[in-house]
Amino acid sequence: MDLNRASTFVRVVETGGFTRAAEALKLPPSSISRSVARLEEELGVTLLERTTRKVSLTDAGRAFFERAREAIAGLEQANALALDAALEAHGTVRMAVPAELAPTLADALAPFLAAHPRIRVETTFTVHGAELVGELVDLAVAIGKLPDSSLTSRRIGTAAHRLYAAPAYLEARGRPRKLADLARHDAVLFGGEARWDLVGPHGVERVAVRGRVVGDHAIFVANAAAAGLGIALLPAFLGDDRAARGLLQPVLPRYASEAPLHLLTHGGRHVPRRVALLRDHLSRALATGCTEPPRGC
C-alpha cells in the first residue's frame, strides 16, 4: 500500500473534502482525487461516497481512517523524534512554577543553560501550572495533590511547610504552646485556606485557622508574616531564610505540612528533546535539597 495515498486520504477526511485537502497539501484537486481513487483500487473497497456537494465515509472508509490516522501520527512522531535527536537541542521551553520556588530556581537553571546554550527558558510563576500545560506552557512544577488529567506526572520529592511568625507578633500575642492554641491567633492565609493539616508527634492533625490577610503568592505571605500580621505556614526554605535574618521565628517546630512535588508534561504529545532535557535536569536539581523536606526526597 502506498503510504502517501493513505496520508492523502486521511487529510481529505480531516479537512472535509478534496478541495480543502488540495489547499492544505498545495496540490491540484484532481491529483488528490486520483490518489484516493487509486488507494480504493489497491484496497478493493470504496472508502468515500462522493456527491457534488460533499464526501462522506463508508463503513469501510471509517474503519480504515481510524487506523490509518493513528499509524500516520505514529510515523510523524517517529520522524520528529529522529530529527530531534540528530540536532543540538534548541528553542524555547515555557514552564510554570509556583512562586515559592523562585528563590532556588535560578541556581537550578544555571548549569542547565550553560550546558545547552541554544535553549531559552521562559518562566511563569503561578500555582495553576497544571492547567496551563499543553496550551501555554510545555512543563510545570506543581505542589500538592494533582487533579485527574491526561498529564504525565513525575514525582520528584516532598515540599515541607512549617509555621513562622514575626518576633513582634509573638511578643504581643504570645507564643502558641500546642496546636490547639493556633485557633486563637491570627493567620496569614495562602489561597484562603481555612484549616491546616500538620504532621506532628501524634501523626496528622488538623486545626482550623482564621485570618484577615490572604494571598496566593508565597513570598507575599512570608513578607506579611514578617510584618507582624499573623502566623504563616510557609515553605521551609523561605521561612528559615527569614528566620536566619531575624525577621521570623519558628512556631511549634515539631509540626510540619508535607506536600508532594511533581513535574508535569503533556501526556498525549511528543515531548521535544529540549523539554525532556529540562524536565530531567529539574528532576535531579529540585530533588536534591532545594525544598528541604523533613524526611528527605
Cell numbers given for 270 = 511528543
Greatest distance between any 2 Cα atoms in the chain: 88
pLDDT score for 295: 33
Q: Are residues 147 and 276 in the same domain?
A: yes
pLDDT digits (tens, 9 = 90+) for 252-261: 999 998 888 8
Confidence of residue 289 (pLDDT cuts 50, 70, 90): very low
Q: Report the alpha-carbon angle 273-274-280, nearest 5.
A: 85
Q: Looking at the structure, do residues 76 and 97 belong to the same domain, yes or no?
A: no
Q: Same domain, yes or no, for 9 and 120?
A: no
Same domain, 165 and 112: yes
pTM as predicted? 0.57
Are residues 45 and 141 located together in one domain of the fold? no
Q: Are residues 168 and 274 in the same domain?
A: yes
Q: Which of 32, 55, 86 is the last residue of a domain?
A: 86
pLDDT digits (tens, 9 = 90+) for 182-236: 999 999 998 777 889 999 998 999 999 999 999 888 889 999 999 999 999 998 8
For the chain, what is the domain count?
Answer: 2
CATH assignment of the domain containing 220: 3.40.190.290
2-36 pLDDT tens trace: 778 888 888 888 888 888 888 888 888 888 888 88
Domain edge (last residue) among 86, 111, 136 = 86
Angle between helices 59-86 and 3-15 (to 10 degrees): 110
Q: Are strands 203-208 and 195-200 parallel, antiparallel or unpaired?
A: antiparallel
The pLDDT of residue 292 is above 70: no
Q: pLDDT, tens digit, for every residue of 81-117?
A: 665 555 667 889 999 988 878 778 888 899 999 999 9
Q: Are residues 24 and 113 in the same domain?
A: no
Name the packing angle between helices 18-25 and 3-15 (round to 10°): 120
Task: List residues bridging with 259 in a β-sheet.
Answer: 159
Across the chain, what does the average pLDDT equal? 84
Q: Model confidence over 179-194: pLDDT tens digits? A: 999 999 999 998 777 8
Please check whether residues 81 and 119 belong to one and the same domain: no
In the listed set 37, 71, 86, which residue is the last one of a domain according to the structure? 86
Could you report the per-residue pLDDT of 54-73, keeping only the tens digit for each?
A: 788 888 888 888 888 888 87
Provide mean pLDDT across the span 261-289: 82
**Above 80 in pLDDT, residue 148?**
no
> Do residues 144 and 67 share a domain?
no
Q: What is the pLDDT of residue 67?
A: 84
Segments forming the whole domain that contains residue 148? 91-297
